[in-house]
Amino acid sequence: MQKKKKKAVWLGIAALMLLAACSNGNTGGEKSAEGNAGETGGNEPAKPAKLELNWSVANNMLANVTLPSADQDFVKRAIEEKFNVDLKIDYMVFGEEYHAKLNAALAGGSAPDLFIAGGAESQKYIDDGIAANLSAFFTETTLPHYFKWVSKQELDAYQLKQGEFTRAILPFQRNTYASWYIRQDWLDKLQLKPPTNYEELTNVLTQFTKGDPDGNGKADTYGFTAAGNGLSLPFDFPQWLNNGFVADFMIVDDAYVDNRTDLKVEGVLDQVVDWIDKGIVDPDWFLNKPPAHHDKAAQGKVGMIFSPGDKTVALDSVATSVQNRAKALDPNADWKPIYPLDKPIMWKYNVPESSILVSTAAAEKQPEKVKRSLEIVDWLTSEEGFLLTHYGQEGKHYTKDGNKVTLNVEAFEADIAKAGNWLNVYGVFTPDEPQVLGMELIDSRISEHDRAILKTIEGFPKHNALPPVSLVPPEGINIGDFRKEMSKFHVKAILDDKSGKNWPQYREELMTKYKGRDIFTEYTKQLNAVLKDKQLRAFE
């Protein structure tokens, strides 16, 4: 009887074990396909299958940046271990070359799983069906950290069509650090005062060209340079602002003004031609590709440049700044920010311009790749991801006490700054603004000199480019194609006509043949749909 009872107990235990095995999906004692969950008793979550991810990212801060070897890339290692992926990330400076490479990948059937594009380019990818509908993937629930940087209202306004979600805003820096920079030591050597209006500026740049400011006895310096990228007349030229044009568009006298196609652009073109005729502009300005113009500044070849957003140009605390590179060649070099015009507004506060996109192919064929990619994006925008991608490893490159983050300068310089600031590759997903996450950075490298420069740049007068709406051309019209034709006319006027006299007829062709009037009439309608206090009059 006792033996029968023991046998019954063992049979019961065996049955329970069998049931447990079946409930774990393991009926034959084999390892579970989902990370050996059977071996851990099912208490730990199943580890997701490993994925290969390919990203393409761009940012103006990626010039001269090279990722370190895999054993030194602690960000890549953290991402791959945390999310069980093999991550390949292509990175370049924003511009024609980046988008050409991206277009080739998209056309060749090797679309990245996630990529960054400019505003005009993202519209084309969406119109062509290359960019996927993100509504199933991108929500406040799935990306809670991301929404600390970008509001849902901004995201909704950024879409090309109401009720459609095809592009996410790349988190962006709200304040702007646009500034011209000038060689203060050249001003001092030539006994010149900092210019405060266009006439004074033209005279100073003439002296920089003809007065031998570097003292080498050669006529080998120019007053000014820019980066036209072989395509356009950039906002680097102060002639835009001198004619009243602040950045790309404005609302003036209750009307939408497209700054680069306004009739008054004739004055911009004439003044640029005048500078070129005077010989004070670097002859390579049109063919320069970023950061070639800043490289020339660092090499002592020019006396003034423009930066639309890089606040580090003249900082002593950044090893790769124009200031430090210039001082390596000339210890007297002294680059200073300057507002050389007598205009009330210099620039505008930032609006979203770059998009995070996902390819339709990835979304349809491998949605798990999309989901995993966006999980990584959310982590990159979290406190943990932000700290790692901006300041390095805790305990080694920085320490944290409450909300104060103190940089270990020696380690940070050795492993990151002097290694090419490679964290910028991963930092493209968040601007360097720890205050967004309630943190304060303590960086002993930032001297009183640098603080004064940053304060100066931040204090330049700006306007809000409101309302926060994504302006979308009418159906079937691509704004990138229009801007390309616009730039061709700018270049034709400067390099061929050597005058702005033909601009009115070029503008009329843009407004008619290339649908500019249709585009800006539609923009006006969209602005009126969100303006509360007043309505804009029809575009002329």
Average pLDDT of the residues in 506-519: 97
| pLDDT at residue 314, as a whole number | 97
Same fold, 47-174+352-436 and 179-348: yes
Average pLDDT of the residues in 210-232: 97
Most confident of 152-161, 328-337, 349-358: 328-337
Cis peptide leading into 291, omega within 30 of 0?
Answer: yes
Average pLDDT of the residues in 355-377: 94
Cβ neighbours of residue 435 under 8 Å, at least 6 residues apart? none
- 164 pLDDT above the threshold of 90: no
| pLDDT at residue 270, as a whole number | 98
- 38 pLDDT above the threshold of 70: no
Q: Residue ranges of the domains in the chain?
A: 47-174+352-436, 179-348
Average pLDDT of the residues in 366-380: 97
Order of strands across the sheet that contains 335-338: 304-307, 179-183, 335-338
Contact 115, 377 (CB under 8 A): no
- 481 pLDDT above the threshold of 60: yes
Contact 376, 85 (CB under 8 A): yes
Tokens of 111: 């679309």
- 506 pLDDT above the threshold of 50: yes
Q: In the 3-class helix/strand/coil scheme, how is 180-245 assigned residue by residue?
A: EEEEHHHHHHCCCCCCCCHHHHHHHHHHHHHCCCCCCCCCCCECECCCCCCCCCCCCCCHHHHCCC
| pLDDT at residue 165, as a whole number | 92
Contact 141, 368 (CB under 8 A): no
Provide the whole-model pTM: 0.69
Average pLDDT of the residues in 138-167: 90
Residue, of 68 and 18, whose pLDDT is higher: 68
186-195, 357-366, 386-395, 462-471: range with lowest mean pLDDT: 462-471
CATH classification code of 179-348: 3.40.190.10
- From CA 27, how far away is CA 438, in angstroms rounded? 51
136-150, 159-173, 209-223, 313-327: range with lowest mean pLDDT: 159-173
| pLDDT at residue 45, as a whole number | 62
Contact 126, 141 (CB under 8 A): no
The CATH T-level fold of domain 47-174+352-436 is D-Maltodextrin-Binding Protein; domain 2 (3.40.190)
- pLDDT grade for 468, boundaries at 50, 70 and 90: low
Q: For the chain, give the mean pLDDT.
A: 89
| pLDDT at residue 466, as a whole number | 61
Residue, of 118 and 211, whose pLDDT is higher: 211
- pLDDT grade for 475, boundaries at 50, 70 and 90: confident
pLDDT in tens, 43-73: 656 778 999 999 999 988 888 888 999 999 9
Percent of the chain scoring above 90 in pLDDT: 71
| pLDDT at residue 533, as a whole number | 73
- Location of structure tokens 């380019």: 121
| pLDDT at residue 37, as a whole number | 34
pLDDT in tens, 304-353: 999 998 899 999 988 889 999 999 999 999 999 999 999 999 998 888 88
Percent of the chain scoring above 70 in pLDDT: 90
| pLDDT at residue 159, as a whole number | 86
* CB half-sphere exposure, 7, CA atoms < 13 A: 4
- pLDDT grade for 390, boundaries at 50, 70 and 90: very high
| pLDDT at residue 350, as a whole number | 83
- pLDDT grade for 266, boundaries at 50, 70 and 90: very high
- From CA 110, how far away is CA 157, in angstroms rounded? 30
In one-letter notation, the amino acid at residue 347 is W
- 161 pLDDT above the threshold of 80: no
- From CA 3, how far away is CA 6, in angstroms rounded? 5
